[in-house]
Amino acid sequence: MSDSRSLPLRLVKAFGRFWWDFLVGDTPEITVAVVIIVGAVALVADVIHVNVLAYVALPVLVIVTLALSMRVAAKPR
């Protein structure tokens, strides 16, 4: 079956698909967690101004995210 869509449309779609696969792919939990981490640390660092909590929370949340993602991956399907 030939693709009748215009070249620019196909390029935009391919570009979007590339970024989706790159940033979400088969690990949507990591993408969602990073958005939450950035929001939480921004709140701590820029709004309530507790620097120590911000620099401790950031790597801890990253490690928790990795652990949760590993748990998802290790689950028998």
Partner 1 sequence: MIATLSASSTTVVLVGAVFLASAVEMVEALTIVLAVGYVRGWKSALEGVGLALLALATLVGAFGPALVHVPLSALRIVVGSILLIFGMQWLRKAMLRSSGRKAKHDEDAIYRATVAELEALGESARRDQVAFVVAFKGVFLEGMEIVITVLTLGTSAHRLALAVIVSAIAVVVVGVVGLIVAKQLSNVPENAMKMTVGVMLVSYGTFWTGEGLHVHWPGGDTALLALVVLYGLVAGVTVRVLRVAYDVAQDMALE
Tokens of 14: 């391919």
- CB 35 to partner 1: min, Å: 8
Handedness of CA 47, 53, 59, 63 (dihedral sign): negative
Asked if 71 is part of the footprint of partner 1 (rule: CB under 8 A), the reply reads no
Q: Give the amino acid at 21.
A: D
CA dihedral 14, 77, 27, 40 (to 10 degrees): 150
Asked if 3 is part of the footprint of partner 1 (rule: CB under 8 A), the reply reads no
Q: Which residues bind partner 1 (CB under 8 A)?
A: 18, 22-23, 25, 27, 30-31, 34-35, 37-38, 41-42, 45-46, 51, 54-55, 58-59, 62-63, 65-67, 69-70, 73-74
